[in-house]
Structure 1
């Protein structure tokens, strides 16, 4: 059954970057993608996009393990991509390789001795099928899944048979490939989209000094209590998910296995009642459908690592036991408890976190090193009595439009061209206006190359070569693929799939297609050449239109609920217990709030220190980034989708309340380090809210030249030297 899924923004960006990698001069592309980021979804949609743009191509997806992962990956592509031509090794041995094939093959079937796939026999062997495909003009692109597991001489020998010019290696932990094109998916983006849990909490509420007679009873008691707490919250919300505990034993630990089984049995969790499962090499029980959201097992016992590709999103708690020797941390183990069961956050700290209980210090150090700010200590903090009556008006979304509204995007693009190029309903005049701004309109395809000579093979020498324009007559068959490729690139730049961006381009520029947002009237041939020749300009202009402040604020925001929201009476405070500074911040509204609070940006840490030292500030509150219990302001983006903006801090003086957002600073030379292109929009939204409720506030950034925090209150400007920026100490 084909599934229609909406790709997350980071997944669309990854596809665009993979396309860039295919256009680069690098042979190898590294896709670094954490467990739970939807790597298979990204790659299958990338292959589909690539096939639309190029012909005579075959993808060969090589998977590790003892079998099964290649079948899972094939099944996912069949489910996600309509009309995909997918094959397993057995299909290749029967019918060979054909254009637009995506072939999923297990490594071990090619590299192990005695393998029938590589034996000469009655049928053409595997290598003959490769040669036949190459002789037929096909070219191979190799995808190496979990590449860290198969970086061997034998594996490289197999890859060489395909004579591939491009290879994509995928891993959550890629090795150091020096001369490769990197596509790195930040974990923060995956978390922001709700695919994986916000944070891993290590040894929650452990005392600083604990005496343990038996690690098994101590840690499993903690895990069972947490499982029951999480399950109760799911039941309260009428969500049928039974959270799973993974108990990881050390290798060579049969005696420890018996103790674990015995202790679970004493708690009524047994193999007989299906609440206990085991997955060991020589012992497997109650594993049928264990991945299902409401499956019976409460706990599963494993050893060093479960099978590659095992996907159980309800797994949320890991108990890591040790037996004399500490074992090396593997990030894939933690990955098993990081997925969100319904691919969304519940805006609840309990449900949006995963939990590790262990007395293995070496393993804990490995977790911290591997996950960084994604692995933290945690403790519950309670609101101080004097702040329990405070409340601020918060806005909530009550109607979420269909994501990426194409009609609204069409209007936004037209409005941007109207403002930037002064286009109107006089189509003939629009062409002249765009030509004046260096849009190219001739019906031929223009490419460029270099001419000249160089004495040294350095970049500067090549930069001095003459540029020659190559003019080619448009061929709709030949250049049709190139048009698809260019349109897909433009769409991916702004997180739109191919079919949507193709519709937009046709409505904006194609003749005989009625649309109130019509800029040009081109024949189909001329639309192809227009998009191909102006790909970069269109990409930049359409991206600018999507991010333009005036357009976003121009659309009315409907169906907003407003209500007073107090500070939460308690919350789960995460911090870095290994940090040297553990000073309690007296001005925070919570008792026990530490200077080692995480996750915090540099600007946030500097602002919290400023609050603590300022004579004018009496208290400060760090707002959450999602959830109805936190303060938010609603606005509508350029796709017509309602979004919630959560300003970072609420601050109190003797007479005023301030709402502030912190952003990346300015370098000593004045260059902006703010990576959020929507900061001007957020400033405008915040300013409008502050005026409505008679509050104070603004955007705070650090000026590294003066080492001072600066605030923008009236008119936003990305130049620190402008009068818009004032020293925070002179304002608050």
Structure 2
């Protein structure tokens, strides 16, 4: 089984890690060499690190190394890790070796370059009377982990120590002692991976390149469908409590959770999915634990569940059988009860609903197992939004607590804000389009690259083939100066001036230059590290057909004598591959596009209270909360709106969201970058635009019953040039407003207001602290720089009441 293709955020993290590891291999080994990967649960940390290690090992400017992969937890997690790594590293230069006992240590006393040794640190760090208790470390043994590492050091092999889930016990005294002992035998690059790393890179060492910090954002993982979008806390609990008012609070919480599990089960069936959601129930240690256990088991029994058959327990001294298969969709278990945080390494993506009873003595509600219900079981988005969320229920009614989680970047939506009665009773009935966003392209897919690259090689390289191979590359061959400089900076040891030199290049330089040559021009793809292996694979296969007797070295010597042809072939193939992939992605997104002419502002929203602040006057929802991370231009515009509300011009306003069907979406024709659109677009034979969806920042309801949809931009907007992206959005908004106006006669019985308007605005604060707002004219567009705004060149003062719709339309 080969490793999957990395998604966008993974490709970025892999390249950064690989570059960091290669760079650290060339500095003093006695320095505190550190790489930290901070990535959420479910993001694929093991996959990213495995790919980075493989990429770093194959980099010809690096140094050969071994890997010591330290796994946490008790039990057989290290065996699971070794098995997973073996499957991910199939076909690479790295070989996984499990160190489970003394026999394994003896077997690998002569460590081969590229060995990945997987071991459990819980076993290693055990002590007795101040000495290592495990035979793999114990004094007096002829073969230990220490002698293995010493042998690696004697062979000149560097080492990377991967500390999985580093936050768990890396700072514990015994672990620190173990790491120091390992460091004495074989200095290493420490690579920590965790959702909540404890290591804090030193700012000075970060600047010097000795420490590296790589962060994967939760929102990037969520956007790829790898994890659920967010967590809802006590959704609809008040309504459930009203229905079950005679039950205890604990029973009411369980009812809310169970009804959610039942609803999700039906939703998965309706979606044609095999997933069967699992309910987790956790209660704290303490005097009430036994009482809570009785309540939970009584409730589940009343729902027809049977202990150890359809609901499982994971308690100290009370474990249900077959817990390892509970993650399977075919598992009979519908619920799992546990007292403390589930053991490290437990993975069950179908777990989606958590009941966690609070500790009554603690002012902090700590959701310790949030990461366990965030994983997306099928790693995709569902049309039914309820399936894209996780749910937590707790007995917090009437209690003020501070919420903390083991996934600090995840969004726990704990407060409901509701639309007020200021909203028209007949609704707005607006047209809105939702279209999933297309992914960015950092590297070519092998399947899409193969045919265009073979065709390009046939055209550009085949006519240059010689009957006999070259056995060396003279330094007098002109090479790309940037390529040569990068190789030489990595310490390869040759001196070149300009693009040429004398003598012959050694094998290390030849291989390095060949690798750099293949990714010198890769169209619009961004990741050279991820593109290299795919390009090299196709070229190697092509040479096997064209010159089957040539060795890898001979292929490289030939390529360096014909650099221009190879760069043109690769670039041409990458442009073609990118065009195919982008067209497929757009077609897929367009196929999922949904348009409604009955869109309304949501009646309520769940928000993350700690990430919100009080909105200005006139906000449509109560409590009036808006995200704190709004841009400065948006905050200026809201100050302007508050003044308009006070003056009676505006009745209410609402802050729109994005990338969600519940928010207002407007179609516009986004310009295609001609540099990345392929030869057809550059030749003028392909469309210069593509349909996308934009989400205007605000809806504003005026006192004359006119509604504005408004996109807010800043002075000198980077996309604000004529025919640029912002201009395209202004055109799209104008067209949308005109289309809405044409629908109004048929909706007259329902809709009070007579007009819809839309536009792009730029708010600025004057010296008098008065907010001035200018609206752009799509038919006379000029970039929103200070001069154009001041002179009203393409921009005019926004008049929410007096302005006509025609002022926002193109003539």
Kindly report which structure 2 residues correspond to 1:42-53, keeping only aligned pairs within 5 A, or say none: 42-53=48-59
For 1:202-230, what per-residue CA distance to the aligned partner results, in whole angstroms no more than 9, with x for missing partners? 22245599999844212212211221222
Instruction: Supply the distance in 2 between the matched residues of 1:678 and 1:110 (Cα, whole angstroms).
Output: 62
Bigger drift between 181-190 and 77-86 goes to: 77-86
Structure 2 CA distance for partners of 1:178 and 1:45, relative to 1, 3 Å? closer
| 2:749 alignment counterpart | none
| 1:519 alignment counterpart | none
Instruction: Supply the distance in 2 between the matched residues of 1:246 and 1:480 (Cα, whole angstroms).
Output: 54
Instruction: Supply the distance in 2 between the matched residues of 1:289 and 1:583 (Cα, whole angstroms).
Output: 49
319, 339, 348: which one aligns with 2:355: 319
Instruction: Supply the distance in 1 between the matched residues of 2:182 and 2:655 (Cα, whole angstroms).
Output: 56
Kindly report which structure 2 residues correspond to 1:90-101, keeping only aligned pairs within 5 A, or say none: 90=100, 91-96=104-109, 97-101=111-115
| 1:278 alignment counterpart | 313
Shift of 1:9: 0.9
377, 398, 402: which one aligns with 2:415: 377
Instruction: Supply the distance in 2 between the matched residues of 1:722 and 1:529 (Cα, whole angstroms).
Output: 53
| 1:27 alignment counterpart | 33
329, 350, 365: which one aligns with 2:403: 365
Kindly report which structure 2 residues correspond to 1:34-183, keeping only aligned pairs within 5 A, or say none: 34-53=40-59, 54-84=62-92, 85-90=95-100, 91-96=104-109, 97-113=111-127, 114-119=133-138, 124-149=143-168, 150-152=170-172, 153-179=176-202, 180-183=211-214
Larger Rg: 2
| Contact 1:487–1:498 (8 Å) recurs in 2 | no
Kindly report which structure 2 residues correspond to 1:257-268, keeping only aligned pairs within 5 A, or say none: 257-268=292-303
| Contact 1:52–1:481 (8 Å) recurs in 2 | no
Instruction: Supply the distance in 1 between the matched residues of 2:629 and 2:486 (Cα, whole angstroms).
Output: 50
Structure 2 CA distance for partners of 1:247 and 1:346, relative to 1, 3 Å? same
| Contact 1:145–1:169 (8 Å) recurs in 2 | yes
| 1:222 alignment counterpart | 256
| 2:233 alignment counterpart | 202
Kindly report which structure 2 residues correspond to 1:275-424, keeping only aligned pairs within 5 A, or say none: 275-286=310-321, 287-326=323-362, 333-359=369-395, 364-367=402-405, 370-371=408-409, 373-378=411-416, 384=423, 386=425, 388=427, 390-392=429-431, 394=433
| 1:459 alignment counterpart | none
| 1:14 alignment counterpart | 13
Q: TM-score, normalised by structure 2?
A: 0.68
| Contact 2:417–2:604 (8 Å) recurs in 1 | yes
| Contact 1:406–1:500 (8 Å) recurs in 2 | no
Instruction: Supply the distance in 2 between the matched residues of 1:679 and 1:406 (Cα, whole angstroms).
Output: 37
| Contact 1:697–1:713 (8 Å) recurs in 2 | no
| 2:205 alignment counterpart | none
Structure 2 CA distance for partners of 1:580 and 1:28, relative to 1, 3 Å? closer
574, 583, 586: which one aligns with 2:606: 574
For 1:155-207, what per-residue CA distance to the aligned partner results, in whole angstroms no more than 9, with x for missing partners? 32244145334211112112252423211111121122221222222222455
Shift of 1:131: 0.9
1:447 aligns with 2:455: no
488, 494, 509: which one aligns with 2:526: 494
Equivalent residue of 1:447, what SS?
helix
Structure 2 CA distance for partners of 1:125 and 1:43, relative to 1, 3 Å? same
| 1:458 alignment counterpart | none
Instruction: Supply the distance in 2 between the matched residues of 1:645 and 1:196 (Cα, whole angstroms).
Output: 24
Instruction: Supply the distance in 1 between the matched residues of 2:312 and 2:597 (Cα, whole angstroms).
Output: 44
Bigger drift between 374-383 and 41-50 goes to: 374-383
| 2:274 alignment counterpart | 240
Shift of 1:702: 5.9
Bigger drift between 295-304 and 108-117 goes to: 295-304
Structure 2 CA distance for partners of 1:552 and 1:351, relative to 1, 3 Å? closer
Equivalent residue of 1:87, what SS?
strand
1:231 aligns with 2:301: no
Equivalent residue of 1:306, what SS?
coil
Instruction: Supply the distance in 1 between the matched residues of 2:50 and 2:721 (Cα, whole angstroms).
Output: 30
Q: TM-score, normalised by structure 1?
A: 0.74
622, 625, 632: which one aligns with 1:596: 625
- Number of matched residues? 668
| 2:207 alignment counterpart | none
Instruction: Supply the distance in 2 between the matched residues of 1:37 and 1:283 (Cα, whole angstroms).
Output: 32
| Contact 1:201–1:356 (8 Å) recurs in 2 | yes
| Contact 2:612–2:627 (8 Å) recurs in 1 | no
Bigger drift between 289-298 and 384-393 goes to: 384-393
| Contact 1:216–1:259 (8 Å) recurs in 2 | no
| 2:744 alignment counterpart | none
| Contact 1:142–1:164 (8 Å) recurs in 2 | no
Instruction: Supply the distance in 2 between the matched residues of 1:511 and 1:727 (Cα, whole angstroms).
Output: 63
For 1:578-614, what per-residue CA distance to the aligned partner results, in whole angstroms no more than 9, with x for missing partners? 68966697674xxx45431458633556556655654
Structure 2 CA distance for partners of 1:342 and 1:497, relative to 1, 3 Å? farther
Equivalent residue of 2:255, what SS?
helix
Equivalent residue of 2:373, what SS?
coil
Equivalent residue of 1:625, what SS?
coil
| 2:807 alignment counterpart | none
| Contact 2:281–2:338 (8 Å) recurs in 1 | yes
Instruction: Supply the distance in 2 between the matched residues of 1:99 and 1:678 (Cα, whole angstroms).
Output: 54
Shift of 1:13: 1.0
Equivalent residue of 2:294, what SS?
helix
| Contact 2:68–2:117 (8 Å) recurs in 1 | yes
Bigger drift between 387-396 and 87-96 goes to: 387-396
| 1:193 alignment counterpart | 224
Instruction: Supply the distance in 1 between the matched residues of 2:145 and 2:295 (Cα, whole angstroms).
Output: 47
Bigger drift between 470-479 and 401-410 goes to: 401-410
For 1:320-374, what per-residue CA distance to the aligned partner results, in whole angstroms no more than 9, with x for missing partners? 2134422866565211111112112224432222222223568643249944754
Shift of 1:260: 3.3
